[in-house]
Structure 1
């Protein structure tokens, strides 16, 4: 004997009901009126859960900047059996907004991540659309170390973002690179151009192994210009350089990374190289992402000025569980350039 289900729904009033159908004969309890519909309580089938939406926004740890392309999701266990049945997810748009759909009413844990910056919060999803207030938008801050350098100061960008960090000079940085356990107390390590500790790492296999393990185990490293020794020796097949022979110039750069294009609302930016002898890329591996490129003038092996088009200026790559970002340009040399500040901020949040 087959049982058929008929669905009656009045979505305007949020009314849904499912009623069983029998063969039209009266049963012993007299629960049928002969029309074929069974109005007994036992024949009513439990309503399907209502599905709702959650709208929120993601911002920097101090609330000053909206975060683009953060990943937001909720895991749904529809029958509370401990097994995740599906995931409702979204990426934040150019103004930091996200929308999660198909959420059952009730409490859910919302997970948010952007690089090493994360957040978890319990949200009570109400019928219809629940809009979160802006004062819950802040990401939690990861643990950050900055290695001092003579020619660059990425910590200035961190200060603008209100992000806390521990600053290491050359002596203390050298000790840190020799101590993997200490390195792994940090989520991100920034190495400024002109760090003597970075240069010293090139001649210390144990420190290079520590850098490699730090990244493979989930840590992230940002390095600028001459601070290419640690990452270069730890990951020798990632990038190849022509040399430290870039000429002072203003480069009209191409923004390749889609998230950066969204943030700038442009695919172009002006980058200032005010000094000679900056690192010039030759090639990058196929699994290295070029973020920014441009036409570069440099001194070649014949001591002549050479121009190459579309060379990488900033790259990002993953190794193991971690991430490396490297830029040929400095924060310090850009002055108050809005575009480069925003590029560097996005690179920081992507680590």
Structure 2
């Protein structure tokens, strides 16, 4: 009987030690406590609160530089899920260099923190300028969003030190005079401006700044401009009228607007039809059948351009990087220079995720905002361009 008790006790001790050892291994090697999560929601608005901003990137990071992000819908609303704790939540459009807002948020476990509209308004960082036109005034849309810009003249475009003060320049339709002796200085300066990170928006007849010609472009391969003739040709053969059911082919633009077709009204004849474009250089954002009506590039760079500090973004302590979220596509964002070391260690790279790392954006539209008329939904497209330059 005593011998049986001895074996029973020994077996129990063996089982206890074995089970205890296995439990410890399970906790230390395979069990990781779940990260407590919470949510933050709000609505992205223009600076004056008048417009809801769709397509804005809303993001934050944890202590390991892991990115948590969401996009605002066409109504400006967003919901971001992220780890609990104190966070800086960033709201950016475009690559974040020209328009962005930062909000300090204490995210609570299993709760949704709703941000007040006063802190989710998109701030202007860029210095912006425009050349006044005859047939449209993009400046009215810019100021209608609550942002500011400075009027400059065609002669100002001849002076690099003048245009280098700005991050974004809007070239209105009808702003370019006929051929002048000083045109080469304008073309060279605009080339240098974009090559150093400045962004341009040109509408309709203002394509002559890009491809050459006088006040507009009447043929392919005209003298002047700074975009190579093999990249773009636009000829002023458009007739007045409405083009119905044009397609928004850019997914980000369509998501930001909440629709993917629209009618575009051309109230003047002789508008610039895009006759030819290089599909490897330009992204088509709006088209009618196979005819491009709105194009964009960030691939222009003149390797011989003088290095010039452009606008406010070059001196404000922020940098644009390509962040590589785990399991997701790379995302272009703008961050404080002081955060770069952590992002570099995470595997991020300097510059935009695609295009030329040094280039600014160039947007061109065959349509514009018709200084004398109502443009309907195409006005929302122009708002998107402004905020994503």
**TM-score computed with the length of structure 1 as normaliser:** 0.73
What SS does the aligned partner of 2:103 have?
Answer: strand
> How far apart are residue 137 of structure 1 and its match?
1.2
> How far apart are residue 160 of structure 1 and its match?
2.0
Q: Which has the higher relative contact order, 1 or 2, with Cα contacts under 8 A spaced 6 or more apart?
A: 2
Establish whether residue 247 from structure 1 lines up as the match of residue 239 from structure 2. yes
Unaligned runs of 5+ residues in structure 1 are 1-21, 26-33, 38-42, 79-83, 295-308
The answer (yes or no) to whether the contact 2:231–2:277 under 8 Å persists in 1 is yes
The answer (yes or no) to whether the contact 1:201–1:229 under 8 Å persists in 2 is no
**C-alpha distance in 2, partners of 1:312/1:35?**
71
Distance change (3 Å), C-alpha of 1:266 and 1:124 = closer
Distance change (3 Å), C-alpha of 1:200 and 1:251 = farther
Return the match for 1:292 from 273, 279, 286: 286
The answer (yes or no) to whether the contact 1:238–1:288 under 8 Å persists in 2 is no
> How far apart are residue 331 of structure 1 and its match?
0.8
Q: State the Cα RMSD in Å.
A: 3.1
**C-alpha distance in 1, partners of 2:261/2:372?**
15
**C-alpha distance in 1, partners of 2:187/2:172?**
17
**C-alpha distance in 2, partners of 1:331/1:194?**
13
Distance change (3 Å), C-alpha of 1:334 and 1:75 = farther
> How far apart are residue 229 of structure 1 and its match?
2.5
Q: Which position in structure 2 is the counterpart of 1:4?
A: none
Return the match for 1:277 from 260, 270, 273: 270
The answer (yes or no) to whether the contact 1:272–1:333 under 8 Å persists in 2 is no
Distance change (3 Å), C-alpha of 1:94 and 1:274 = closer
Q: Which position in structure 1 is the counterpart of 2:296?
A: 316
Aligned ranges for residues 316-335 of structure 1 at < 5 Å?
316-319=296-299, 320=356, 321-332=359-370, 335=373
Distance change (3 Å), C-alpha of 1:216 and 1:46 = same
What SS does the aligned partner of 1:229 have?
Answer: helix
Establish whether residue 58 from structure 1 lines up as the match of residue 19 from structure 2. no
The answer (yes or no) to whether the contact 1:201–1:230 under 8 Å persists in 2 is no
Establish whether residue 130 from structure 1 lines up as the match of residue 113 from structure 2. yes
What SS does the aligned partner of 2:142 have?
Answer: helix
Greater Cα shift, 257-266 or 269-278: 257-266
Distance change (3 Å), C-alpha of 1:316 and 1:200 = farther
What SS does the aligned partner of 1:227 have?
Answer: helix
**C-alpha distance in 1, partners of 2:82/2:58?**
14
> How far apart are residue 144 of structure 1 and its match?
1.1
The answer (yes or no) to whether the contact 1:239–1:281 under 8 Å persists in 2 is no
Distance change (3 Å), C-alpha of 1:256 and 1:49 = closer
Return the match for 1:165 from 137, 149, 152: 149
Establish whether residue 196 from structure 1 lines up as the match of residue 153 from structure 2. no
Return the match for 1:106 from 85, 100, 107: 85
> How far apart are residue 288 of structure 1 and its match?
1.0
Deviation per residue, 1:36-60 (Å, 9 max, x gap): 49xxxxx999966523222233111
**C-alpha distance in 1, partners of 2:186/2:366?**
23
Distance change (3 Å), C-alpha of 1:284 and 1:202 = farther
What SS does the aligned partner of 2:364 have?
Answer: strand
Distance change (3 Å), C-alpha of 1:48 and 1:195 = same
What SS does the aligned partner of 1:330 have?
Answer: coil
The answer (yes or no) to whether the contact 1:242–1:282 under 8 Å persists in 2 is yes
> How far apart are residue 139 of structure 1 and its match?
0.8
Establish whether residue 183 from structure 1 lines up as the match of residue 166 from structure 2. no
What SS does the aligned partner of 2:202 have?
Answer: strand
Return the match for 1:223 from 202, 206, 222: 202
The answer (yes or no) to whether the contact 2:267–2:370 under 8 Å persists in 1 is no
Unaligned runs of 5+ residues in structure 2 are 1-13, 22-26, 212-224, 300-355
Return the match for 2:77 from 94, 97, 107: 97
The answer (yes or no) to whether the contact 2:137–2:371 under 8 Å persists in 1 is no
The answer (yes or no) to whether the contact 1:191–1:198 under 8 Å persists in 2 is no
Q: Which position in structure 2 is the counterpart of 1:154?
A: 138
Aligned ranges for residues 14-53 of structure 1 at < 5 Å?
24=16, 36=20, 49-53=35-39
